Amino acid sequence: MHYRRKKSWEISESFVTDEVLFEGRRRFLKLGAAMTVSTSAVMELAASEKLPMPNLHYRKDTNPLGLVLNSYDQIISYNNFYEYTTSKKGVRQLARNFKTEPWRISVDGLVENPFEIDFDDLLNRFTLEERIYRFRCVEGWAMVVPWVGFELASLIRYAKPLSTAKYVRFETLYDPEQFPDQRRKFFSTIDYPYVEGLRMDEAMHPLTLMTVGLYGHTLPPQNGAPLRLIVPWKYGFKGIKSIRRITFTDHEPLNTWQKMASNEFGFYANVNPDVDHPRWSQKHERVLGKFIKQKTQMFNGYEKEVKHLYAGMDLRKHF
Amino acid sequence: MRQLILSFILLQPLLFLLYMLFISGVEDPIKFIYTLTGATALTLLYITTTLSLLRRSINLLRYRRTVGLFSFFYALLHLLNFLILDMELDLVSALNETFDKPFIFFGMASFLILLFMAITSHRSLFPRYFKYHKMIYIVILLSTIHFVMAQKALSIPQWGYLGVMALISILKVLQRSGIVKL
């Protein structure tokens, strides 16, 4: 009987990988190679951009509008934070040792469920998502920032406001130990603590973001760590930083800048090219890093989403 | 020679401006140019006043014209920043803004007086026009108001700056009215 003797190095037929799978393996390897390349490209980008390593879990924003992001470096080195200084370049250095731990936020006023919560518990309670928003400062500069946060609406629902609650009032930390301008008492630049507010329907709007991070990383102190407000269709000063207290009231809160100069800064502060600041025009804006200005958009480009909130209101009077 | 050294010193803010804009990079170029050229122009204006204030103690009057012309030069850069970068050469809206926003109007008025003074500072014109150069005080007043109005809120250093400027102005007034001999 003639039969083939298997050489020691031969393997049995059953060990042979099916062709489809073999092709699949090729594809898998290619994919793996691409992965490595792409991660290293991402890494390279991260290194060159000096991006922080993301430390938050969140749902990414697909950026359907194709907004061009400002660099991380631009966003973290040009800030208005008067508690430290009026110098936008100076904040970063002065704020570098800001203590965000422990950090408790109290939610009180006209609510069924007033509560105090530790910042970390707050992070665990709400689902985070990335929101790439235009940001427009009342001074005429602008940027695009990939914020990370959760809708203020979900926090409000959790607090269960009473029917008498018509407004939400926010307060920044008051801590003269940490904030040099708060130590200057009579000579301080503005009144402290910094106060901001929103009408209930504005606060409940899905665009209004309780913000805890940017570029996937927790907020740096100069950008309002650990928790700030972002209302993308309003001027930046509405986006109160380092929030310690959220109060539900039945009357319109007097926000800090309105208190400072009510002829120049109002309660609503909606971005509007047709309503100039009394001392400068709001028709155009300077995007950080660019020599050329661009046109200011009505409600900062969120007109479709928020126009209905102001139906029948005279935006020149309620600026 | 001394005038050359002085000119070299007075060109430093411009070199710094160019370095920051094109080598180091700034976030908000238009605002940066405004701040740097404006602050330099205004400071140099106050320095010219100080030179005449101190002329009995240290006579540096022969440098006053150079300092004044450099002040005009930085004011010109400031204006060009407004017209070219900020208004993008849209002269109609530049004019609208000028008459609509008081602080821009004050700035424009200051510039026009400085322009007149720069032209008439020439040797052939100065003897006839020097008496009008007292308008520097109008420029100083208007451009200081212009500077204050351009801020959202005044910082401590800005208050300090204004304090020094106020002191110079008060001394100048007292000197002119013969109350103080310096």
The reply, when asked if residue A263 is annotated as ligand binding, is: no
Name the CA radius of gyration of chain B, rounded: 17
Cα gap A214→A227, rounded to integer Å: 11
Q: CB contacts < 8 Å between A and B, how many?
A: 62
* Structural domain of B94: 2-177
Q: What pLDDT score does B60 carry?
A: 87
Cross-strand partners of A287: A142
| A212: its two tokens | 């805890």
Question: Comparing A211 with B181, which gets the higher pLDDT?
Answer: A211
Any domain includes B87: yes
pLDDT tens-digit map of B89-119: 899 989 999 999 999 999 999 999 999 999 9
Q: What pLDDT score does B154 carry?
A: 83
Q: Is B98 on the interface with A (CB under 8 A)?
A: no
Nearest to B31 among A87, A141, A260 (CB): A141
From the list A305, A92, A130, A136, the residue with the least C-alpha distance to A211 is A130
Cα gap B182→A38, rounded to integer Å: 73
> Which chain B residues are within 8 Å of A90, Cβ to Cβ?
none
Any domain includes B182: no
CB contact under 8 A, A290 and B29: yes
* Sign of the four-CA dihedral A121, A126, A131, A133: negative
Rounded percentage of chain A residues whose pLDDT exceeds 70: 85
Cα gap B79→A61, rounded to integer Å: 42
Q: How many residues does chain A have?
A: 319
- Strands in chain A per DSSP E: 104-109, 115-118, 129-136, 141-151, 167-172, 195-199, 209-214, 217-218, 228-230, 243-249, 284-287, 293-295
Q: Is A85 on the interface with B (CB under 8 A)?
A: yes
| A13: its two tokens | 């037929």
Q: What pLDDT score does A194 carry?
A: 98
Q: What pLDDT score does B126 carry?
A: 87
**Domain A57-310, classified CATH 3.90.420.10, yes or no:** yes
Q: What pLDDT score does B1 carry?
A: 86
CB contact under 8 A, B153 and A190: yes
Q: What pLDDT score does A41 carry?
A: 54
Residue ranges of chain A whose pLDDT lies below 50: none
**How many other C-beta atoms can be found within 10 angstroms of the C-beta atom of residue A99?**
12
Domain with residue B58: its CATH number is 1.20.120
Q: What pLDDT score does A12 carry?
A: 66
From the list A104, A239, A265, A88, the residue with the least C-alpha distance to A175 is A104
The reply, when asked if residue A140 is annotated as ligand binding, is: no
From the list B118, B32, B140, B17, the residue with the least C-alpha distance to B72 is B118
Domains in chain B: how many in total?
1
Question: pTM of the predicted model, to two decimals?
Answer: 0.82
Q: What pLDDT score does A224 carry?
A: 97
> Which chain A residues are within 8 Å of B150, Cβ to Cβ?
279-280
Any domain includes B126: yes
Cα gap B40→B34, rounded to integer Å: 10
Non-local (6+) Cβ contacts of A215 within 8 A are A51, A52, A54, A72, A75, A146
B75 vs A184, B38, B136, CA distance in Å? Answer: 34, 6, 14
Domain positions in chain A are: 57-310
Q: What pLDDT score does A151 carry?
A: 97
